[in-house]
Amino acid sequence: MKTEVFKTVKAKILHGVGGLYSAVTEDGAVVKCKPRGNFRHYDISPYPGDNVLLRLRDGDVPMIAEILPRRNFIKRPPVANIDKLFITVAAACPSPAYITVDKLICAAEFYSITPVLIITKADLDGAKAEELSSVYRRCGFDVFVTSSVSGSGVDAVKAFVYRQAEGNVVAFAGESGVGKSSLMNAMFEELGLQTGETSRIQRGKHTTRAVSLYSLEDNPRFDGAYIADTPGFGIFEPTLIPEFTRESLVSCFRELSPYLTTCRYTKCTHLREEGCSIVEAVNNGELPRSRHDSYVTLYEELKNKRYTK
Ligand SMILES: Nc1nc2c(ncn2[C@@H]2O[C@H](COP(=O)(O)OP(=O)(O)OP(=O)(O)O)[C@@H](O)[C@H]2O)c(=O)[nH]1
Ligand SMILES: [Mg+2]
Ligand SMILES: [Zn+2]
């Protein structure tokens, strides 16, 4: 009687489209693999960044047998076990929307992923780049101002990426066309990622179609450091996280927390109450108004929240 010989190894998912994934095993091999059949039945899906158990069988496509517990998972863009989120916003083309940036920051803060602000296309509007940079620096974030065209700021981001701890994964996120893939190419020219055409920059071009993890070393390792490119479509809506409530909102705006102890009211919404220390700090210029505007918008959105999966 023939007995099948299995070998089970740990692996990290790098990429996946149409049910076919690529993963790096703990032996350092990059292999194509498929999830086990019953995942679909249980509505389970592996995502880039997932650590999994792969079952290797002679002559067969390796099978993803189990997804190991996730430290975190961002649904949009879909990526697991992230340490830092590079929230990317262009100074122009497309014109920056504070609310989009602040929603992504909320997602990161909610999952205890460190948000880092990357401002791109500084060559197109230096003043806007400085304005964005000043808002987020004042809130205490790491901010990088870059241009993939002139090359300014690119080395600083690269040096920051290389300072990541062993095994860390950093992921870009931001609207389509802001220049995420272009910045990755400027940092790591060997990547040769596809980017949108310069002649027809418009919102929603969706050049990058799926999340991919790239090793920061020549030879990918299961425990190595990775950087992820993601598509800019359908990015994060906090209302989609069931646990994300009005009560958790204020803690996702890190610059507001020092004011909570001095707020006059215990049940303050910090929207517009007279005497609210946050509203006062916004009015006297201590806190950036754009951030408070985003807080108010999100607070209102959460009022009508439906608990969808
Ligand atoms: N002027 C200028 N243009 C840039 C810069 N970075 C990117 N671009 C242009 O902006 C367009 C979009 O760049 P991509 O890198 O494809 O943008 P993306 O964020 O990866 O977009 P998606 O993959 O669709 O999410 C391209 O035409 C780039 O040439 C920059 O620093 N300055
Ligand atoms: Mg892209
Ligand atoms: Zn208040």
Q: Which ligand is nearest to the CA of 277?
A: 3
Whether 280 shows a pLDDT value over 60: the answer reads yes
Cβ–Cβ under 8 Å, residues 207 and 184: no
What is the Å distance from ligand 1's center to 180 Cα?
6
What is the Å distance from ligand 2's center to 66 Cα?
30
The verdict on the CB of residue 177 being under 6 Å from ligand 1 is yes
Region 73-229: CATH code: 3.40.50.300
User: CA angle, 202 as apex, 199 and 203 as ends, to 5°?
Assistant: 160
Q: Which ligand is nearest to the CA of 90?
A: 1
The verdict on the CB of residue 153 being under 6 Å from ligand 1 is no
pLDDT at 4: 64
pLDDT at 178: 96
Q: Which ligand is nearest to the CA of 299?
A: 3
Whether 289 shows a pLDDT value over 90: the answer reads yes
pLDDT at 244: 87
The verdict on the CB of residue 147 being under 6 Å from ligand 1 is yes
What is the Å distance from ligand 1's center to 249 Cα?
31
Regarding pTM above 0.95, the answer is no
The verdict on the CB of residue 230 being under 6 Å from ligand 1 is no
Region 241-303: CATH code: 1.10.40.50
Position in ligand 1 atom list of the atom nearest CA 120: 31
What is the Å distance from ligand 2's center to 181 Cα?
4
Give the C-alpha separation, 11 to 92, whole Å: 40
CATH class of this structure's domain 6-67: mainly beta
Domain with CATH 3.40.50.300 in the chain: 73-229
Domain with CATH 1.10.40.50 in the chain: 241-303
The verdict on the CB of residue 46 being under 6 Å from ligand 1 is no
Q: Which ligand is nearest to the CA of 88?
A: 1
Which residues are CB-contacts of 48 (< 8 A; sequence separation ≥ 6)? 13, 14, 15, 16, 78, 79, 80, 211, 212, 213, 228
What is the Å distance from ligand 3's center to 265 Cα?
6
Whether 127 shows a pLDDT value over 50: the answer reads yes
- The residue nearest atom 32 of ligand 1, judged by CA position, is 121
Position in ligand 1 atom list of the atom nearest CA 197: 27
Minimum mean pLDDT among 17-21, 28-32, 234-238: which range? Answer: 234-238
User: CA angle, 138 as apex, 288 and 94 as ends, to 5°?
Assistant: 70
The verdict on the CB of residue 195 being under 6 Å from ligand 1 is yes
The pLDDT confidence band at residue 307, using thresholds 50, 70 and 90, is very low
The verdict on the CB of residue 49 being under 6 Å from ligand 1 is no
The pLDDT confidence band at residue 306, using thresholds 50, 70 and 90, is low
The verdict on the CB of residue 124 being under 6 Å from ligand 1 is yes
The verdict on the CB of residue 181 being under 6 Å from ligand 1 is yes
The verdict on the CB of residue 208 being under 6 Å from ligand 1 is yes
Q: What is the mean pLDDT of the chain?
A: 91
Domain with CATH 2.40.50.140 in the chain: 6-67
Percent of the chain with pLDDT over 70: 93
